[in-house]
Amino acid sequence: MGAWPENNAPVGNGVCIAGPSTINGGLLEVAAFVSGSVATNTNMTGGYAMYRQFIVESDTYISHVSWQLGTASTPVTFNTLEIGIYSEDRIRLTTTGSFQTAASTSQTAKTLAFSPAVTLRSGCYYLAYHNKDWSSTAQYANPWFGSPALTINKHRAMGSFEENVGNASTLLPATATFAVVTANTGTSGSPAITLLGRA
Amino acid sequence: MDFPSNAAPMPVVVNSLSKYFHSAATFNSFNVSTIGTGSSPGSTTSPMMPFTIPSPYLVKSLFIANGITATGNTDIGIYQAGATTAGCSAVVTAGSVAMSGANVLQIRTLATPVLLPPGSYYLAVYNSTSGTFNGVTLTAVQASQCGLLETPGALSSTVSLQRSTGLHYYLAGFSRLASGY
Protein backbone atom coordinates (compact mmCIF):
# COMPACT_ATOMS: atom_id res chain seq x y z
CA MET A 1 0.00 0.00 0.00
CA GLY A 2 1.25 3.45 -0.79
CA ALA A 3 1.49 6.51 1.39
CA TRP A 4 -1.57 7.84 3.14
CA PRO A 5 -3.46 10.18 0.84
CA GLU A 6 -3.11 13.83 1.69
CA ASN A 7 -6.23 15.92 1.80
CA ASN A 8 -4.56 19.25 2.22
CA ALA A 9 -4.73 21.81 -0.53
CA PRO A 10 -1.47 22.66 -2.28
CA VAL A 11 0.99 24.83 -0.45
CA GLY A 12 0.06 28.47 -0.79
CA ASN A 13 2.58 31.06 -1.78
CA GLY A 14 2.49 34.73 -2.50
CA VAL A 15 -0.85 35.98 -1.26
CA CYS A 16 -1.97 37.59 1.97
CA ILE A 17 -2.70 34.43 3.80
CA ALA A 18 -2.75 34.60 7.56
CA GLY A 19 -2.68 36.81 10.59
CA PRO A 20 -4.82 39.47 12.26
CA SER A 21 -5.65 41.07 8.93
CA THR A 22 -7.52 37.99 7.70
CA ILE A 23 -10.85 36.35 8.42
CA ASN A 24 -8.99 33.44 10.02
CA GLY A 25 -7.18 35.77 12.38
CA GLY A 26 -9.97 37.83 13.90
CA LEU A 27 -10.78 40.33 11.20
CA LEU A 28 -14.54 39.91 11.54
CA GLU A 29 -14.46 40.36 15.28
CA VAL A 30 -12.38 43.51 15.08
CA ALA A 31 -14.70 44.98 12.45
CA ALA A 32 -17.63 44.39 14.78
CA PHE A 33 -15.79 45.65 17.86
CA VAL A 34 -14.59 48.96 16.52
CA SER A 35 -15.41 51.10 13.56
CA GLY A 36 -12.86 52.81 11.41
CA SER A 37 -10.04 51.80 9.16
CA VAL A 38 -6.50 50.74 9.94
CA ALA A 39 -5.29 54.21 10.76
CA THR A 40 -4.64 54.31 14.48
CA ASN A 41 -1.37 54.11 16.34
CA THR A 42 -1.36 51.22 18.74
CA ASN A 43 1.03 49.97 21.34
CA MET A 44 1.53 47.81 24.40
CA THR A 45 3.50 48.23 27.59
CA GLY A 46 7.20 47.92 26.88
CA GLY A 47 8.49 44.38 27.16
CA TYR A 48 5.10 42.75 26.63
CA ALA A 49 4.23 40.38 23.83
CA MET A 50 0.73 39.55 22.68
CA TYR A 51 -0.15 36.10 21.32
CA ARG A 52 -3.02 36.21 18.85
CA GLN A 53 -4.70 32.98 17.66
CA PHE A 54 -5.23 32.28 13.98
CA ILE A 55 -5.98 29.20 11.93
CA VAL A 56 -4.47 27.85 8.73
CA GLU A 57 -6.86 25.77 6.64
CA SER A 58 -4.31 24.04 4.41
CA ASP A 59 -0.55 23.70 4.21
CA THR A 60 0.77 27.23 3.98
CA TYR A 61 4.29 28.38 3.30
CA ILE A 62 5.30 31.40 5.39
CA SER A 63 8.53 33.23 4.74
CA HIS A 64 7.82 36.89 5.54
CA VAL A 65 5.66 39.19 7.59
CA SER A 66 4.33 42.58 6.60
CA TRP A 67 2.90 45.31 8.80
CA GLN A 68 2.44 49.03 8.87
CA LEU A 69 4.47 51.19 11.18
CA GLY A 70 2.76 53.79 13.30
CA THR A 71 3.47 57.47 13.47
CA ALA A 72 6.84 58.47 14.83
CA SER A 73 6.71 60.67 17.89
CA THR A 74 9.28 62.96 19.47
CA PRO A 75 12.04 62.25 20.30
CA VAL A 76 12.43 59.83 17.47
CA THR A 77 15.21 57.46 16.65
CA PHE A 78 14.11 53.87 16.24
CA ASN A 79 12.00 51.12 17.73
CA THR A 80 12.91 47.53 18.58
CA LEU A 81 10.40 44.83 17.71
CA GLU A 82 10.03 41.10 17.15
CA ILE A 83 7.34 39.01 15.45
CA GLY A 84 7.07 35.23 15.73
CA ILE A 85 4.78 32.27 15.15
CA TYR A 86 3.92 29.70 17.81
CA SER A 87 2.19 26.34 17.62
CA GLU A 88 -1.04 25.73 19.52
CA ASP A 89 0.98 24.05 22.24
CA ARG A 90 3.00 27.25 22.55
CA ILE A 91 6.27 26.22 20.91
CA ARG A 92 8.02 28.88 18.86
CA LEU A 93 8.21 27.82 15.22
CA THR A 94 9.90 30.85 13.71
CA THR A 95 10.77 34.44 14.44
CA THR A 96 12.03 37.56 12.77
CA GLY A 97 14.49 37.99 15.57
CA SER A 98 14.97 41.34 17.20
CA PHE A 99 15.08 44.20 14.76
CA GLN A 100 14.99 47.95 14.76
CA THR A 101 12.87 50.28 12.69
CA ALA A 102 14.01 53.79 11.97
CA ALA A 103 11.72 56.72 12.62
CA SER A 104 12.24 57.81 9.06
CA THR A 105 10.05 54.87 8.05
CA SER A 106 7.09 56.20 10.02
CA GLN A 107 3.70 55.08 8.64
CA THR A 108 5.25 52.96 5.93
CA ALA A 109 4.73 49.29 5.17
CA LYS A 110 7.46 47.09 6.55
CA THR A 111 8.34 43.57 5.41
CA LEU A 112 10.77 41.27 7.15
CA ALA A 113 11.85 37.65 6.70
CA PHE A 114 11.20 34.85 9.16
CA SER A 115 14.07 32.59 10.03
CA PRO A 116 13.44 29.86 9.24
CA ALA A 117 10.69 29.96 6.65
CA VAL A 118 8.05 27.46 7.69
CA THR A 119 5.23 25.47 6.17
CA LEU A 120 2.32 25.53 8.57
CA ARG A 121 0.09 22.48 8.46
CA SER A 122 -3.65 22.86 8.82
CA GLY A 123 -4.25 23.90 12.42
CA CYS A 124 -4.37 26.63 15.00
CA TYR A 125 -1.38 28.87 15.72
CA TYR A 126 -0.45 32.03 17.56
CA LEU A 127 1.12 35.12 16.09
CA ALA A 128 3.37 36.81 18.64
CA TYR A 129 4.25 40.48 18.39
CA HIS A 130 6.58 42.03 20.87
CA ASN A 131 7.27 45.69 21.52
CA LYS A 132 10.57 45.86 23.30
CA ASP A 133 11.39 49.47 23.88
CA TRP A 134 8.35 51.58 24.39
CA SER A 135 9.48 52.68 27.82
CA SER A 136 12.55 54.32 26.39
CA THR A 137 12.07 57.96 25.51
CA ALA A 138 14.84 57.67 22.98
CA GLN A 139 12.63 55.52 20.82
CA TYR A 140 9.34 56.20 19.21
CA ALA A 141 6.19 54.97 20.75
CA ASN A 142 4.02 53.69 17.95
CA PRO A 143 5.34 50.49 16.42
CA TRP A 144 2.08 49.48 14.78
CA PHE A 145 -0.77 50.93 12.81
CA GLY A 146 -3.99 49.13 13.52
CA SER A 147 -7.61 49.33 14.53
CA PRO A 148 -8.87 51.69 17.22
CA ALA A 149 -8.30 50.42 20.76
CA LEU A 150 -10.05 47.25 21.87
CA THR A 151 -10.77 46.22 25.45
CA ILE A 152 -9.42 43.48 27.69
CA ASN A 153 -12.70 41.56 27.32
CA LYS A 154 -12.56 41.67 23.56
CA HIS A 155 -8.95 40.52 23.38
CA ARG A 156 -9.75 37.66 25.75
CA ALA A 157 -12.80 36.67 23.73
CA MET A 158 -10.60 36.48 20.65
CA GLY A 159 -8.39 33.93 22.38
CA SER A 160 -5.40 36.20 22.83
CA PHE A 161 -2.82 35.95 25.61
CA GLU A 162 0.11 38.06 26.78
CA GLU A 163 3.53 37.56 28.34
CA ASN A 164 6.06 39.89 29.90
CA VAL A 165 9.01 38.84 27.78
CA GLY A 166 11.41 41.63 28.61
CA ASN A 167 13.07 44.43 26.77
CA ALA A 168 15.41 45.07 23.91
CA SER A 169 17.81 42.15 23.96
CA THR A 170 15.32 39.49 25.08
CA LEU A 171 14.03 37.29 22.28
CA LEU A 172 10.60 35.72 22.23
CA PRO A 173 10.87 32.53 24.31
CA ALA A 174 11.28 29.07 22.78
CA THR A 175 8.23 28.05 24.79
CA ALA A 176 5.69 30.71 25.56
CA THR A 177 4.09 31.09 28.98
CA PHE A 178 0.63 32.38 28.33
CA ALA A 179 -0.99 34.77 30.78
CA VAL A 180 -4.44 36.28 30.59
CA VAL A 181 -4.66 39.61 28.83
CA THR A 182 -4.39 42.58 31.21
CA ALA A 183 -4.20 46.32 30.74
CA ASN A 184 -0.59 45.89 29.57
CA THR A 185 -1.83 44.69 26.21
CA GLY A 186 -5.62 44.72 26.51
CA THR A 187 -6.24 48.27 25.43
CA SER A 188 -4.18 48.01 22.27
CA GLY A 189 -5.81 47.93 18.89
CA SER A 190 -5.59 45.08 16.43
CA PRO A 191 -2.40 45.63 14.44
CA ALA A 192 -2.31 45.29 10.67
CA ILE A 193 0.05 42.34 10.46
CA THR A 194 -0.08 39.82 7.61
CA LEU A 195 1.94 36.67 7.10
CA LEU A 196 3.25 36.11 3.59
CA GLY A 197 4.76 33.40 1.46
CA ARG A 198 6.94 35.82 -0.44
CA ALA A 199 9.27 38.75 0.14
CA MET B 1 3.61 8.72 10.69
CA ASP B 2 0.44 10.40 11.80
CA PHE B 3 -2.79 9.61 10.06
CA PRO B 4 -3.83 12.54 7.87
CA SER B 5 -6.78 14.43 9.23
CA ASN B 6 -9.80 15.56 7.26
CA ALA B 7 -10.92 17.85 10.04
CA ALA B 8 -11.00 21.55 9.28
CA PRO B 9 -8.93 23.39 11.88
CA MET B 10 -10.70 25.33 14.59
CA PRO B 11 -9.32 28.03 16.87
CA VAL B 12 -8.82 27.45 20.57
CA VAL B 13 -11.38 30.09 21.47
CA VAL B 14 -14.52 30.67 19.38
CA ASN B 15 -16.54 33.82 19.96
CA SER B 16 -19.92 34.92 18.67
CA LEU B 17 -18.40 37.41 16.25
CA SER B 18 -16.08 34.93 14.56
CA LYS B 19 -16.66 33.44 11.15
CA TYR B 20 -18.41 30.40 12.62
CA PHE B 21 -21.37 32.53 13.63
CA HIS B 22 -23.65 33.35 10.72
CA SER B 23 -24.14 36.91 11.83
CA ALA B 24 -20.51 37.94 11.90
CA ALA B 25 -20.17 38.90 8.26
CA THR B 26 -23.75 40.11 8.20
CA PHE B 27 -22.99 42.58 10.97
CA ASN B 28 -20.34 44.22 8.92
CA SER B 29 -22.42 44.42 5.78
CA PHE B 30 -25.11 46.20 7.81
CA ASN B 31 -22.54 48.55 9.29
CA VAL B 32 -24.07 47.82 12.67
CA SER B 33 -22.88 49.97 15.53
CA THR B 34 -19.97 48.51 17.43
CA ILE B 35 -20.25 46.15 20.38
CA GLY B 36 -21.31 48.30 23.31
CA THR B 37 -20.87 48.07 27.03
CA GLY B 38 -24.21 46.59 27.75
CA SER B 39 -27.85 45.87 27.21
CA SER B 40 -30.13 43.48 29.03
CA PRO B 41 -32.04 40.70 27.33
CA GLY B 42 -34.58 40.89 30.17
CA SER B 43 -35.83 37.85 31.99
CA THR B 44 -38.52 36.95 29.49
CA THR B 45 -36.33 36.06 26.51
CA SER B 46 -33.03 34.33 25.87
CA PRO B 47 -31.27 35.26 22.61
CA MET B 48 -30.11 32.30 20.55
CA MET B 49 -27.21 33.01 18.20
CA PRO B 50 -26.73 30.52 15.35
CA PHE B 51 -23.37 29.03 14.42
CA THR B 52 -21.94 26.16 12.40
CA ILE B 53 -18.72 24.27 13.03
CA PRO B 54 -17.01 22.27 10.28
CA SER B 55 -15.23 19.76 12.49
CA PRO B 56 -15.54 18.19 15.94
CA TYR B 57 -14.90 20.58 18.80
CA LEU B 58 -14.38 19.66 22.45
CA VAL B 59 -16.04 22.36 24.54
CA LYS B 60 -14.51 22.69 27.99
CA SER B 61 -15.90 26.08 28.91
CA LEU B 62 -18.40 28.71 27.87
CA PHE B 63 -18.20 32.45 28.41
CA ILE B 64 -20.32 35.56 28.24
CA ALA B 65 -19.11 39.17 28.31
CA ASN B 66 -20.84 40.81 31.24
CA GLY B 67 -21.83 44.42 30.78
CA ILE B 68 -21.87 47.32 33.17
CA THR B 69 -24.68 45.91 35.34
CA ALA B 70 -23.94 42.55 36.94
CA THR B 71 -27.09 41.49 38.72
CA GLY B 72 -29.40 38.50 38.89
CA ASN B 73 -28.55 35.03 37.71
CA THR B 74 -27.04 34.15 34.37
CA ASP B 75 -26.90 31.05 32.23
CA ILE B 76 -25.38 30.06 28.90
CA GLY B 77 -25.85 26.98 26.77
CA ILE B 78 -25.51 25.35 23.39
CA TYR B 79 -28.55 23.92 21.60
CA GLN B 80 -28.80 21.59 18.65
CA ALA B 81 -30.33 23.36 15.69
CA GLY B 82 -33.45 21.53 14.60
CA ALA B 83 -35.38 21.32 11.40
CA THR B 84 -38.33 23.23 12.81
CA THR B 85 -38.92 26.08 15.21
CA ALA B 86 -41.08 23.90 17.44
CA GLY B 87 -38.18 23.25 19.74
CA CYS B 88 -34.62 22.17 20.14
CA SER B 89 -32.64 20.31 22.74
CA ALA B 90 -29.76 21.43 24.84
CA VAL B 91 -26.38 19.94 24.10
CA VAL B 92 -25.10 21.56 27.27
CA THR B 93 -26.13 24.33 29.64
CA ALA B 94 -23.74 25.70 32.21
CA GLY B 95 -26.49 26.14 34.78
CA SER B 96 -27.85 29.22 36.46
CA VAL B 97 -25.44 31.08 38.74
CA ALA B 98 -25.14 34.60 40.10
CA MET B 99 -23.84 37.06 37.55
CA SER B 100 -20.35 37.92 38.72
CA GLY B 101 -18.32 40.99 37.82
CA ALA B 102 -19.11 43.98 35.65
CA ASN B 103 -17.33 44.31 32.32
CA VAL B 104 -15.57 40.95 32.55
CA LEU B 105 -15.84 37.68 30.73
CA GLN B 106 -17.68 35.31 33.03
CA ILE B 107 -16.24 31.86 32.44
CA ARG B 108 -18.31 28.74 33.01
CA THR B 109 -16.06 25.70 33.14
CA LEU B 110 -17.96 22.52 32.36
CA ALA B 111 -17.69 19.67 34.84
CA THR B 112 -17.72 17.30 31.89
CA PRO B 113 -16.40 18.54 28.53
CA VAL B 114 -18.82 18.16 25.63
CA LEU B 115 -17.80 17.07 22.15
CA LEU B 116 -19.75 18.94 19.46
CA PRO B 117 -19.96 17.02 16.18
CA PRO B 118 -19.79 19.13 13.01
CA GLY B 119 -23.12 20.83 12.48
CA SER B 120 -25.31 23.78 13.30
CA TYR B 121 -26.14 24.98 16.79
CA TYR B 122 -27.39 27.94 18.79
CA LEU B 123 -25.47 29.66 21.56
CA ALA B 124 -28.04 30.91 24.07
CA VAL B 125 -27.61 33.35 26.95
CA TYR B 126 -29.96 34.30 29.79
CA ASN B 127 -30.24 36.74 32.68
CA SER B 128 -32.91 36.51 35.34
CA THR B 129 -33.38 40.24 35.94
CA SER B 130 -31.77 43.31 34.38
CA GLY B 131 -28.15 42.24 34.12
CA THR B 132 -26.43 43.46 30.98
CA PHE B 133 -24.08 41.85 28.49
CA ASN B 134 -21.68 43.41 25.96
CA GLY B 135 -23.47 43.46 22.66
CA VAL B 136 -25.53 45.32 20.10
CA THR B 137 -29.20 45.89 19.54
CA LEU B 138 -30.27 45.10 16.00
CA THR B 139 -33.24 46.17 13.97
CA ALA B 140 -35.88 43.55 13.27
CA VAL B 141 -34.65 43.22 9.71
CA GLN B 142 -31.05 42.86 10.78
CA ALA B 143 -31.94 40.26 13.40
CA SER B 144 -33.85 38.29 10.82
CA GLN B 145 -30.99 38.46 8.33
CA CYS B 146 -28.56 37.34 11.04
CA GLY B 147 -30.74 34.33 11.83
CA LEU B 148 -31.08 35.52 15.41
CA LEU B 149 -33.79 33.68 17.35
CA GLU B 150 -34.85 33.58 20.95
CA THR B 151 -36.63 31.39 23.42
CA PRO B 152 -39.11 32.64 25.99
CA GLY B 153 -37.74 32.65 29.52
CA ALA B 154 -34.83 30.75 31.00
CA LEU B 155 -32.73 27.99 29.45
CA SER B 156 -33.90 24.42 29.94
CA SER B 157 -33.23 21.02 28.43
CA THR B 158 -35.72 21.68 25.62
CA VAL B 159 -36.73 25.13 24.44
CA SER B 160 -39.08 26.53 21.86
CA LEU B 161 -37.81 28.95 19.26
CA GLN B 162 -39.29 32.18 17.99
CA ARG B 163 -38.19 35.12 15.91
CA SER B 164 -36.19 37.56 17.98
CA THR B 165 -38.20 40.30 19.66
CA GLY B 166 -35.48 41.52 21.98
CA LEU B 167 -33.10 42.05 19.04
CA HIS B 168 -30.06 41.61 21.28
CA TYR B 169 -26.83 40.06 20.03
CA TYR B 170 -24.06 39.45 22.54
CA LEU B 171 -20.35 38.77 22.80
CA ALA B 172 -20.11 35.20 24.10
CA GLY B 173 -18.39 32.01 23.07
CA PHE B 174 -16.80 28.73 23.99
CA SER B 175 -13.30 27.35 24.40
CA ARG B 176 -11.38 24.13 24.46
CA LEU B 177 -9.50 25.47 27.47
CA ALA B 178 -11.12 24.78 30.83
CA SER B 179 -9.99 28.22 31.93
CA GLY B 180 -11.82 29.79 28.98
CA TYR B 181 -8.91 31.94 27.89
| pLDDT tens digits, one per residue of A104-133 | 677 788 899 999 999 999 999 999 999 887
pLDDT of residue A15: 46
Total number of domains constituting chain B: 1
For testing the chain A interface, which of B3, B15, B28 should be mutated: the one with the most A CBs within 10 Å? B15
pLDDT of residue A1: 47
Backbone angles phi, psi at B61, to 5 degrees: -155, 160
Bridge partners, residue A68, by sequence: A109
Closest-approach residue (CA) in chain B for A157? B15
Question: What DSSP string describes B155-168?
Answer: --SEE--EE-SS-E
| Structural domain boundaries, residue B151 | 13-175
- Alpha-carbon distance B118 to nearest alpha carbon in chain A (angstroms): 16
- Alpha-carbon distance A60 to nearest alpha carbon in chain B (angstroms): 13
pLDDT of residue B9: 93
Mean pLDDT (chain B, rounded): 90
| Strand blocks (E) in chain A | 40-42, 48-56, 60-68, 78-87, 92-95, 99-102, 109-120, 123-131, 144-146, 161-164, 193-196
The class (CATH top level) of A23-196 is mainly beta
What gap in Å lies between CA A26 and CA B12, rounded to an integer? 12
For testing the chain A interface, which of B13, B21, B29, B169 should be mutated: the one with the most A CBs within 10 Å? B13
pTM of the model: 0.88
CATH of the domain at B101: 2.60.120
pLDDT of residue A5: 52
pLDDT tens profile B69-128: 999 999 999 999 876 667 789 999 999 999 999 999 999 999 999 999 999 999 999 999
Q: Are A80 and A139 in contact (CB under 8 A)?
A: yes
Task: For chain A, list residues whose CB is within 8 angstroms of any CB belonging to chain B.
Answer: 4-8, 23-24, 26, 28-29, 31-35, 53-57, 88, 122-124, 151, 153-154, 156-161, 180-181
Question: Across the 199 residues of chain A, what is the mean pLDDT of every consecutive 10-residue run?
Answer: 51 55 81 74 86 91 88 69 95 93 76 94 94 63 81 93 88 96 91 85
